[in-house]
Chain A
Amino acid sequence: MSEELSVVGQSLVKPDAFSKVSGQTKFADDLALPRMLFGRILRSPHPHARILSIDTSRAQALPGVLAVLTGEDLPIKFGILPVSQDEEALAGEKVRYVGDPIAAVAATDEWIADEALELIEVRFKELPRYMGIEEAIAGSGEPIHGKSNVHKAVALEFGDTEEAMGVAEHVREDIVFFEGNTHLPMEQHAAVAQYAQDGKLTLWSSTQTPHYVHRALGKVLELPMSRIRVIATPNGGGFGGKSDIFAHELVAAKLAIKTGRPVKITLTREEVFYAHRGRHPVLMKVKTGFRRDGTITTMQFQSFLDGGGYGSYGVASTYYTGALQTMTYAIPRYRFEGVRLFTNKPPCGPKRGHGTPQPRFALETHLDKVAEELGLDPVELRLRNLPTPNSRTVNWLRITSCGLKKCIETVAAESRFRERRTAMPPGRGLGFAVSSYLSGAGTAIYWNDMPHSEVQLKLDRNGGVALLCGAIDIGQGSDHILAAIVAEVLGVRLEDIQLTTADTDLTPIDLGSYSSRVTFMAGNAAKAAAENARARVFEAAATALQCDVEDLAARDRQIFRRDRPAEAIPFVQAVRLAEAAGGVVTASGSYTPPKLAGPYKGSGVGPSPAYSFSAAVVEVDVDLKTGEVRVPEVWVAHDIGRAINPVLVIGQVEGSVYMGLGEALMEEQTFRLGLHKFPSLLEYKSPTALETPIMHTYLVETIDPEGPFGAKEAGQGPLLPVIPAVANAIYNAVGVRIDEVPITPEKVLKAMSEKTRRVGPKAVPSFGFPPLVEADVPDEWKGR
């Protein structure tokens, strides 16, 4: 099949490349409208406090200030998940983290707006603060929300794990901690709102999820959604950080309504750190039973999530810390207990890998230790527990294509892992880990039966193809994927496709650029739309060529008979014939994922129509005097299904390696008395060009049966194995276990000087998880 493809599989220049290299791409803050005002938001200086009073009179009186808002103006609560409608655009009664929005102003310039914020007088009564997991569990003062700081607690069991643990030939338990970190997109969030006199509201925003922002605006502003237009601007980096609903989006809209003038709000870098919604700090305990040969017989996994002040995606995050352990290893019996605590910090949410890098760190370092105990090579241990393609996990996740074995063998061979690992020079080490990730969440964020992605096409008589889709390109190349799929099916060139994306007035719905869903879901919708359009064009071409539609193929702007390729008509000619015969040539296509959730509560998080698989080897060079860890070389193999554009896929893998190394070695979002310790690009350490390792990327193609042209995800999965592979490599290099991310030089030095040769948490807090829900298991796992 692949030899017949002419666009898919090619490393072509993506449609938005020249607009980006010329600086012409319009990001949200690049927009300026006549009479535009500038909005600014007053944020809480306290981590937890009751608001006693707000006096805005002096701000209102400042010349140049056109509107001031407080919580009274936007009282309706919202949240990204229907079960967590716990946020207010501007806090009404109390604030729950430093940075919680309280009031907002619109003024004729930013300096006046800033000055006005200083004139707003707020009186607070401080409340006891809960700055971490243990404090949130143990604290006895006023909870952050409701009656308890427990946001969500879950307990699931698939098969009797206690029984299996009792008879296991080898059991090991580990406790590890993954510190929170943040997305740090180079573009700060921005939104521009415009309200017309006829009552139509338009919001441009750097959001990954325009459809969800649209819904929230309708709810909070009490406007019909048909009177709201949301246009997502190209994201200057997202990584999950622009997939929530943010106060500044709602506030800009309200200020535009109140003033009758366009209003722009661009967050400062410091505000972006506090807006957050990034990686949850997670404390984890993993206990696994094995046979002597290394086969896993059972696993029990506990996770404690430090959620921050609001719900955000946290219910999903909680389940995700337990969902995918079974995807890389055939685990016959599995228990997961997870709890998310509210704390007085910026809310955590989804960051690249959403809820799965933390357990992956726990699991892969745990298995490295077990391999040593069993006298097995860590690669061999993984190979003895591989999942089977076209199977189901014990927690009901459906596996279709699976190239994990090939990924493992490729990186092991290419890095010469087995030969080199036992003979590394002092301070040098090799580490190995694997992972899996979803190609899009199988369930929507709000319950509905509608498609998750939709694409419309209009073929014009000049040979151009207009492609409309709700998906927004966040740098991952989704515009290219859509265009390439449509060009392939119609047999036209990439440059014949004109994209209009992420405009709720014009484009059909795509749920958003999150959960690695766009290639798979919007890609399938694009393919369906193109096949429908092609049917009309082929009908006209068949008439002209006096043959059957089934005889036709399309390629390079020609439609021709497969058996007699010389008999052809140009694509544009066929479009004209189709238009003459039946009017404007339009077509649409939709994608709804199959219903894959298992028969238990909580089964909605984890299912995906397909999973990617990755394996990584990381080489480290540890400075024995300073504890500093350098990474000279990384090998990653990724099961992509099919690479629609290899250069873009490799870009996603390399970006994932980079971000994984940052999380492994330096990035942390930590707080002192409620204040972020590092809310700037200088102090929040992230890797620079100088830290870039040599990266070897190997794409494993498994041609997924349900992916568009067999494609799966690339944006998130390859990050996951990098972090534990770093930790395992450090152990190989200097014999210390750093069971806590990030692995800073201080921790390495400390572990090297300690008798235990370890830095990491020693216990998990005592917490009463709810009674285990003993879920039914698929037939093939019964009795195992």
Chain B
Amino acid sequence: MPSKVPVRLRVNGEEAAVMVPPYKTLLEVLREDLGLTGTKHGCELGECSTCAVLVDGKPFLSCLAMPLDLEGTEITTVEGLATGSKPHRLQVAFAELGAAQCGYCTPAMLLTARALLDHDPEPSRDAIKQALSGVLCRCTGYAKIFEAVELAASRSEGLVV
């Protein structure tokens, strides 16, 4: 059996200490060791961004990231988007506008959009397209996703259900 190494991560505001083989990717550690299966995979080669999470607020491909390199950072997955049982305004907008069809690329879309809104609270349609262009979706044709990001942007944080 391959030897395991201790890794200390901070995920969704919580400390997580796990023993994992050093070659395991962040994607695998999140899904298999921490039970955070909201993070998906589409290629495991860094091509589709389905596995995107936020590292210190920036979109990051978890399939290419090695957990040992990320000690001391703040990792956010889709499970960390909501505040308690209150969904993030992006999650509400995606649900309302049908921006999640099969839902498989949705976690990565939401997190990438969250990173966009964090630094550009009222993005133009072009800025949204540019920000989401690395995340592939096969269901929606993207239009409903753009509209959902715009709807979320139009709602101030305090007003959502």
**A residues adjacent to B (C-beta < 8 A):** 11, 13-14, 16-27, 29-30, 32, 64, 111, 183-188, 234-239, 268-269, 474-477, 647-648, 650-651, 654-659, 680-682, 686, 688-690, 692, 695
- Which residues on the B side are within 8 Å of A689 (C-beta)? 128-130, 132-133, 135, 142, 145-146
Q: Restricting to B37-69, which residues have a CB under 8 Å from any CB of A?
A: 37-45, 47-48, 50
- Which residues on the B side are within 8 Å of A29 (C-beta)? 41
Q: A186-B104, A655-B139, A692-B129 are in contact. Are A681 and B48 (CB under 8 A)?
A: yes
Among residues of B, the one whose C-beta sits closest to the C-beta of A692 is: B142
**In the complex, which of the residues B2, B36, B47, B79 contacts A681, with contact meaning CB atoms closer than 8 Å?**
B47
Interchain nearest-CB distance for A18 vs B (Å): 6
Tell whether, in the assembled complex, residue B140 and residue A186 are in contact, meaning their CB atoms are under 8 Å apart: no
Q: A477-B101, A654-B143 are in contact. Are A682 and B133 (CB under 8 A)?
A: no
CA separation between A26 and B31, bound complex, in Å? 12
Q: How many residues of B contact A (CB 8 A)?
A: 58
Can you list 21 contacts pairing A with B, beta carbon distance less than 8 Å? A11-B98, A18-B95, A20-B103, A21-B110, A22-B38, A22-B78, A23-B37, A23-B106, A30-B31, A186-B40, A186-B105, A186-B137, A186-B138, A269-B42, A648-B98, A650-B98, A680-B43, A681-B45, A681-B48, A688-B142, A690-B129
**In the complex, which of the residues B95, B130, B133, B139 contacts A17, with contact meaning CB atoms closer than 8 Å?**
B95
Tell whether, in the assembled complex, residue B141 and residue A27 are in contact, meaning their CB atoms are under 8 Å apart: no
Q: A14-B98, A655-B140, A659-B138 are in contact. Are A22 and B40 (CB under 8 A)?
A: no
- Which residues on the B side are within 8 Å of A690 (C-beta)? 129-130, 133
Tell whether, in the assembled complex, residue B101 and residue A476 are in contact, meaning their CB atoms are under 8 Å apart: yes
- Which residues on the A side are within 8 Å of B146 (C-beta)? 689, 692
Tell whether, in the assembled complex, residue B42 and residue A188 are in contact, meaning their CB atoms are under 8 Å apart: yes
- Which residues on the A side are within 8 Å of B92 (C-beta)? 21
CA separation between A585 and B39, bound complex, in Å? 41
- Which residues on the B side are within 8 Å of A184 (C-beta)? 138
Lowest 8 A-B CB distances belong to which pairs?
A: A23-B38, A475-B102, A20-B103, A658-B141, A236-B104, A23-B78, A17-B95, A30-B37
CA separation between A542 and B97, bound complex, in Å? 40
- Which residues on the A side are within 8 Å of B121 (C-beta)? none
Q: A18-B87, A186-B137, A647-B97 are in contact. Are A23 and B107 (CB under 8 A)?
A: yes
Most chain A Cβ neighbours within 10 Å, of B37, B79, B87, B139: B139
Most chain B Cβ neighbours within 10 Å, of A16, A20, A238: A20
Tell whether, in the assembled complex, residue A111 and residue B139 are in contact, meaning their CB atoms are under 8 Å apart: no
Interchain nearest-CB distance for B53 vs A (Å): 11
CA separation between A20 and B105, bound complex, in Å? 10
- B136 on the interface (CB 8 Å rule)? yes
CA separation between A556 and B68, bound complex, in Å? 55
Tell whether, in the assembled complex, residue B140 and residue A658 are in contact, meaning their CB atoms are under 8 Å apart: yes
**In the complex, which of the residues A13, A183, A185, A238 contacts B96, with contact meaning CB atoms closer than 8 Å?**
A13
- Which residues on the A side are within 8 Å of B100 (C-beta)? 17, 20-21
- Which residues on the B side are within 8 Å of A477 (C-beta)? 98, 101
CA separation between A11 and B41, bound complex, in Å? 30
Among residues of A, the one whose C-beta sits closest to the C-beta of B45 is: A680
**In the complex, which of the residues A25, A648, A654 contacts B141, with contact meaning CB atoms closer than 8 Å?**
A654
Tell whether, in the assembled complex, residue A13 and residue B95 are in contact, meaning their CB atoms are under 8 Å apart: yes
Tell whether, in the assembled complex, residue B141 and residue A187 are in contact, meaning their CB atoms are under 8 Å apart: no
Tell whether, in the assembled complex, residue A186 and residue B42 are in contact, meaning their CB atoms are under 8 Å apart: yes
Tell whether, in the assembled complex, residue B42 and residue A681 are in contact, meaning their CB atoms are under 8 Å apart: yes
A20-B102, A25-B103, A655-B139 given. 18 additional CB < 8 A pairs?
A21-B87, A21-B100, A21-B110, A22-B79, A22-B81, A184-B138, A186-B102, A187-B102, A187-B104, A237-B101, A475-B101, A477-B98, A654-B140, A656-B141, A657-B141, A681-B43, A681-B45, A688-B133
Tell whether, in the assembled complex, residue A185 and residue B138 are in contact, meaning their CB atoms are under 8 Å apart: yes
CA separation between A648 and B139, bound complex, in Å? 11
Q: Restricting to B101-130, which residues have a CB under 8 Å from any CB of A?
A: 101-107, 110, 128-130
Tell whether, in the assembled complex, residue B141 and residue A695 are in contact, meaning their CB atoms are under 8 Å apart: yes
Q: Is the interface of A mostly helix, strand, loop or mixed?
A: loop
CA separation between A22 and B106, bound complex, in Å? 9
- B19 on the interface (CB 8 Å rule)? no
CA separation between A695 and B136, bound complex, in Å? 18
Q: Is the interface of B mostly helix, strand, loop or mixed?
A: loop
CA separation between A30 and B79, bound complex, in Å? 14
Q: A18-B95, A659-B138, A686-B136 are in contact. Are A234 and B45 (CB under 8 A)?
A: no
Tell whether, in the assembled complex, residue A23 and residue B79 are in contact, meaning their CB atoms are under 8 Å apart: yes
CA separation between A522 and B10, bound complex, in Å? 46
Q: A186-B48, A186-B137, A682-B47 are in contact. Are A692 and B143 (CB under 8 A)?
A: yes
Among residues of A, the one whose C-beta sits closest to the C-beta of B105 is: A186
Among residues of A, the one whose C-beta sits closest to the C-beta of B81 is: A22
CA separation between A475 and B101, bound complex, in Å? 4
Tell whether, in the assembled complex, residue B129 and residue A651 are in contact, meaning their CB atoms are under 8 Å apart: no
- Which residues on the B side are within 8 Å of A186 (C-beta)? 40, 42, 48, 50, 102, 104-105, 136-138
Q: A13-B96, A186-B50, A651-B98 are in contact. Are A21 and B136 (CB under 8 A)?
A: no
Interchain nearest-CB distance for B34 vs A (Å): 12
Tell whether, in the assembled complex, residue B141 and residue A655 are in contact, meaning their CB atoms are under 8 Å apart: yes
Tell whether, in the assembled complex, residue A236 and residue B45 are in contact, meaning their CB atoms are under 8 Å apart: no
Among residues of B, the one whose C-beta sits closest to the C-beta of A18 is: B95
Q: A686-B136, A688-B133, A692-B146 are in contact. Are A18 and B103 (CB under 8 A)?
A: no
Among residues of A, the one whose C-beta sits closest to the C-beta of B92 is: A21
- B32 on the interface (CB 8 Å rule)? yes
Tell whether, in the assembled complex, residue A237 and residue B138 are in contact, meaning their CB atoms are under 8 Å apart: yes
**In the complex, which of the residues A26, A188, A234, A654 contacts B102, with contact meaning CB atoms closer than 8 Å?**
A234
CA separation between A474 and B138, bound complex, in Å? 12
Tell whether, in the assembled complex, residue B103 and residue A236 are in contact, meaning their CB atoms are under 8 Å apart: yes
Interchain nearest-CB distance for A649 vs B (Å): 9
Question: B68-90 CB contact bits vs A (8 Å, 1 = yes)?
Answer: 00000000011101100001001
Interchain nearest-CB distance for A690 vs B (Å): 5
Among residues of A, the one whose C-beta sits closest to the C-beta of B95 is: A17
Interchain nearest-CB distance for B39 vs A (Å): 7
Tell whether, in the assembled complex, residue B32 and residue A20 are in contact, meaning their CB atoms are under 8 Å apart: no
CA separation between A185 and B133, bound complex, in Å? 17
Tell whether, in the assembled complex, residue A239 and residue B107 are in contact, meaning their CB atoms are under 8 Å apart: no
Most chain B Cβ neighbours within 10 Å, of A13, A237, A647, A659: A237
Interchain nearest-CB distance for B36 vs A (Å): 8
CA separation between A236 and B78, bound complex, in Å? 16
CA separation between A32 and B28, bound complex, in Å? 13
- Which residues on the B side are within 8 Å of A236 (C-beta)? 40, 102-104
- B8 on the interface (CB 8 Å rule)? no
Most chain B Cβ neighbours within 10 Å, of A187, A476, A680: A187
Tell whether, in the assembled complex, residue A234 and residue B103 are in contact, meaning their CB atoms are under 8 Å apart: yes
CA separation between A61 and B40, bound complex, in Å? 33
CA separation between A648 and B96, bound complex, in Å? 10
Among residues of B, the one whose C-beta sits closest to the C-beta of A648 is: B98
CA separation between A389 and B137, bound complex, in Å? 37
Interchain nearest-CB distance for B123 vs A (Å): 12
CA separation between A84 and B56, bound complex, in Å? 54
Tell whether, in the assembled complex, residue B95 and residue A235 are in contact, meaning their CB atoms are under 8 Å apart: no
- Which residues on the B side are within 8 Å of A25 (C-beta)? 103
CA separation between A755 and B122, bound complex, in Å? 51
CA separation between A647 and B144, bound complex, in Å? 9
CA separation between A97 and B107, bound complex, in Å? 35
**In the complex, which of the residues B41, B45, B134, B140 contacts A651, with contact meaning CB atoms closer than 8 Å?**
B140
Among residues of B, the one whose C-beta sits closest to the C-beta of A651 is: B98
Interchain nearest-CB distance for A678 vs B (Å): 11
Question: B1-41 CB contact bits vs A (8 Å, 1 = yes)?
Answer: 11000000000000000000000000000011000111111
Interchain nearest-CB distance for B122 vs A (Å): 18
Among residues of B, the one whose C-beta sits closest to the C-beta of A64 is: B1
Interchain nearest-CB distance for B149 vs A (Å): 10
